[in-house]
Chains A and B, each alone.
Chain A
Amino acid sequence: MKLHLKVWRQRDADDRGHMATYDVDDASPDMSFLELLDVLNEKLTVEGEEPVAFDHDCREGICGACSMVIDGQPHGPEKATTTCQLHMRHFSDGDTITVEPFRAGAFPVVKDLVVDRGAFDRIIAAGGYVSAPTGSAPDAHAVPVPKDQADRAFTAAACIGCGACVAACPNGSGSLFLGAKITHLGEMPQGQPERNSRVLAMVDEHDAAGFGGCTNTGECAVACPKEIPLDVISQLNRDYLAARRARRRSA
């Protein structure tokens, strides 16, 4: 396959950046998109040019490291697919493909296609966990979880924190990510003691990080490679209201 790539190049955080055009003549339809970039980088290295920097880790669609907006869509045009699992057979010979970093004020570009998604880590650190005394592991099924709740928690827990929702959102909001974490922990018995403080702290951190507000356009749920459903945002909103009410009562 012959492909024309338009790739965002940016030397460092302070560089203004620009789109550069490259041709890859020896792409295989069985390559993943990241392997296509590997091939491009080999070519660039041989030519003495700086290779294109991009995030990647497991390359099997579960770590959330790969990112980039391909032809205007986070993780590219395939539904429920991360960039590393996006194969070139979904493109046609001679295509021109535009590749940009995830765009968000809270995700500053580090270099080329690499963005700093530390804001998500800070949201998790603010409350996206359950506090438990460590020690020996508790017996399995010591705490029964109703099937419906377990299913919903699992659906939400599929979130890999890649940030595609933010990249897709016209408001640059991280609400789908937030909602996924709130729903995941909120459906579990272990998540109950910190349910109120969690949502308040995580929303505060989300807003402070400079993410926008949700306007329920639903763009995030379409872009999400793990198909997190939009109703987790409704759950987030409900929990947030309940937590504020509870805080007023106890104040």
Chain B
Amino acid sequence: MVLKYVMAASGAAMLLYLVLHMIGNLKIFFGADALDSYSAWLRTLLEPAVPYAGVLWVIRVILTVALVAHVASAIVLARRARAARPVRYVHRQPVQGSYAARTMRWGGVIILLFVIYHVLDLTTGTLNPNGVHGEVHSNVVADFDPSRWYVTLFYTLAVLTVGFHVRHGLWSGLQTFGRSNALVQRSLKTFAFVFAAVLVVGFLSVPFAATFGLV
């Protein structure tokens, strides 16, 4: 049962990061300079108290710990769930719960694969057609060039998966921490849905704007 709290807490940490990440991304709509200087600022943040890119590395370490904890708990819990039903039903109605709830595990795997690609693409630049460190705007524009529609498509699918994951995960996490009762359950579900929808729109606006040449 403790693992559920690990899931919820690590999920919350990553969700907080997603919000900051999305807000950062939206700087692209204020021009190339705004985005590039924001990226540079992230590295000089709190200098000289912390070394160059110090804050960024602290965040990366926290995220990695959260990710490992989240995935490891998910694996243990999924195995436990499998063991809890050794013989499957011959006939079982589709789950009444939401599509989001049903796709948490496989959705999580898709998101993990996406995160690996995403880091190689826009953090290290390895898989990016431009791939110049610090030229965030040029990298993004080159990445989502109309000729690379399949990359945009993959990002879209991945972000939608994140949306579904967040929609059920946020509601579930609140329930896990006991921040739910009969009165507020419906509002919590709506809140989680709106939260996920805002994330999806915010994250998708950037690749689509790049594809259609708006930024």
Instruction: Choose one: B81, B95, B101, B181; the contact of A172 (CB below 8 Å).
Output: B81
- The verdict on A250 contacting chain B, using a C-beta distance below 8 Å, is no
Are B179 and A234 in contact, with the CB atoms below 8 A?
yes
A234 to chain B, nearest CB (A): 4
Instruction: Name which residue of chain B comes closest to A222, CB basis.
Output: B96
Given the complex of chains A and B, what is the CA–CA distance between A70 and B61 in angstroms?
A: 50
Please measure, in the bound complex, the distance between the C-alpha atom of A230 and the C-alpha atom of B172, giving whole angstroms. 11
B48 close to A (CB within 8 Å) = no
Which B residue's beta carbon lies closest to that of A210? B84
Interchain CB contact under 8 A, A106 and B97: no
Q: In the complex, which residue of chain B has the Cβ closest to the Cβ of A221?
A: B96
Given A69-B92, A98-B90, A233-B175 in contact, is the A216-B101 Cβ separation under 8 Å? yes
Residue in A8, A72, A212, A235 whose beta carbon sits within 8 Å of that of B93 in the complex? A72
Q: Are A71 and B91 in contact (CB under 8 A)?
A: yes
Q: Does A37 contact B (CB under 8 A)?
A: no
A120 within 8 A of B: no
User: Given A103-B85, A234-B181, A237-B177: A212 and B92 within 8 A (CB)?
Assistant: no
Given A69-B89, A212-B77, A216-B101, are A170 and B95 also a contact pair (CB < 8 Å)? Answer: yes
Given contacts A206-B1, A233-B175, A234-B179, 15 further A-B contacts (CB under 8 A): A6-B90, A103-B89, A105-B86, A109-B87, A171-B77, A172-B84, A210-B84, A211-B84, A212-B80, A215-B81, A215-B104, A218-B101, A219-B96, A231-B180, A231-B182
Which residues of A pack against B, CB within 8 Å? 6, 8, 17, 19, 69, 71-73, 98, 100, 103-106, 109, 170-173, 203, 206-207, 210-219, 222, 229-231, 233-235, 237-241
- Can you list 13 A-B pairs, Cβ within 8 angstroms, ordered by A? A72-B91, A103-B85, A103-B88, A105-B83, A105-B85, A173-B81, A206-B1, A213-B3, A215-B81, A217-B95, A217-B98, A233-B175, A234-B178
